[in-house]
Amino acid sequence: MEFRHWLHRNPELSGREYSTSASILDYISEYEPDNLVTDLGGKGIAAEFEGSQPGPRILLRCDMDALPINEKMDIPYRSAIHGVSHKCGHDGHMTILLGIAARLYQHRPTRGSVVLLFQPAEETGEGARRVIIDSKFREIEPDFVIALHNLPGFPLGSIILKDGAFSSASRGIKVELSGTSSHASEPQKGTSPALAVAQIIKAFTRLSQLSISKGSTPMVTVTHARTGSQTFGTSPGEGCVMAALRASTTEEMDIISGSIEKMAEVIAQTNKLECRISRTDEFPVTENSGKAVAAIRSAAGNLGLLIVKPDAPFPWSEDFGHFTKKYPGALFGIGTGTDAPALHSPEYDFPDELIASGVDIFIEIIDELLN
Ligand SMILES: [Zn+2]
Ligand SMILES: [Zn+2]
């Protein structure tokens, strides 16, 4: 708990988890793991605890980064870094994994091995991919990958679990338009992208409203738009629209992305503008495997925990999808209370009482998968 408060007080943004990484390394070294990998995909750390018999390697993953959000809460361990705070509960996830290290120090797994992975840069969607492509990751290539995320809106300590897609895929689309600038008194002498920017915003927003009116997750959300610069003297020559796309399968994502891009290209063409489209911030669907879900379900059952089964995949994305794309595994949720503030809101704080519950469920899952 004390360590969670220390992490909370010292948050670091994605890709800059320097002191977070150093303190985890200090802490985990005391538990004498059999194998310790550092600077994994950035400032990531993996600690492996081996059993005496051969068996599967189970990787438990937590995330290390905080968010560019100013903390508004008056708590004794409030963030010491202005404009940065742990508002996604990753401080809690890290503390849970350290709790597991303490247990594995006393009782090694019966067989196989357990890898505790502290992964950087989850919020930007870059960390998981970087860890996987890091050559050091070959040393700890897992047979199963498991992660949890704390989830407000569900009873405290409940386990949120689902077969198949657990969270959605998302992709950022950037549409850059270029025409020719001209004097603001002679817009007819140039080609301004202003109208095209407005038409693209309208077209994308209409699609979004359509899906909301049908009760489903918006497929596209305009997140940024701009044309020219802040001046009265020039009719602009360039513009830009950025949008976030969401889908519950990879195929659906490709279809939505294709039609959105086509729409932007047609609008650009009709307005005699050049159009360049790029894709960023890719998060694949987090796909849960049957065997991993069954192990989590029995583990929760053994502990007498309430299991909540969502009907549809969550609309948000998790870069853990990069792991489940490659290895069988699952992401599950642990409820932080029906009245808890939303993740990423300035009032959010990971509930300390979930640290012990998180450790217990993971230990139980390890037993299920190894026996
Ligand atoms: Zn987050
Ligand atoms: Zn998160």
Distance 2 CA to ligand 1 centre (A): 22
From CA 29, how far away is CA 49, in angstroms rounded?
12
Give me the helix-helix angle, 90-106 and 354-370, nearest 10°: 50
CB 7 within 8 A of CB 95: yes
Q: Which ligand has the minimum distance to the alpha carbon of residue 91?
A: 2
Distance 137 CA to ligand 2 centre (A): 22
Q: Which ligand has the minimum distance to the alpha carbon of residue 149?
A: 2
Intra-chain end-to-end CA distance of the chain, in Å: 30
Distance 60 CA to ligand 2 centre (A): 15
Distance 89 CA to ligand 1 centre (A): 8
- Sheet strands side by side (includes 44-50): 35-40, 44-50, 111-119, 53-63, 144-151, 329-335, 159-160, 307-308
Distance 292 CA to ligand 1 centre (A): 23
Q: Which ligand has the minimum distance to the alpha carbon of residue 67?
A: 1
Per-residue pLDDT at 125:
87
Report the run of H or E that residue 146 belongs to, with start and end.
strand 144-151
Per-residue pLDDT at 57:
98
Token pair belonging to 125: 């969607």
Contacts of 138 (CB under 8 A, 6+ apart): none
Instruction: Please give the chain's pLDDT, 371 residues, in tens.
Output: 699 999 999 999 999 999 999 999 999 999 999 999 999 999 999 999 999 999 999 999 999 999 999 998 999 999 999 999 999 999 999 999 999 999 999 999 999 999 999 999 999 889 999 999 999 999 999 999 999 999 999 999 999 999 999 999 999 999 999 999 999 999 999 999 999 999 999 999 998 888 777 777 778 999 999 999 999 999 999 999 999 999 988 888 999 999 999 999 999 999 999 999 999 888 999 999 999 999 999 999 999 999 999 999 998 999 999 999 999 999 999 999 999 999 999 999 999 999 999 999 999 999 999 98
> In order of start, what are the domains of the chain with their CATH numbers?
2-167+285-370 (3.40.630.10), 169-282 (3.30.70.360)
Distance 347 CA to ligand 1 centre (A): 14
- How does DSSP assign 326-357, residue by residue? HS-EEEEEEE--TTPPPTTSTT----TTHHHH
Distance 309 CA to ligand 1 centre (A): 21
CB 280 within 8 A of CB 258: no
Distance 150 CA to ligand 2 centre (A): 8
Per-residue pLDDT at 242:
97
Coil, strand or helix at 277: strand
Nearest to 322 by CA among 356, 277, 284: 284
Residues around ion ligand 2, judged by CB within 5 A, are: 88
Distance 316 CA to ligand 1 centre (A): 9
Q: Which ligand has the minimum distance to the alpha carbon of residue 63?
A: 2
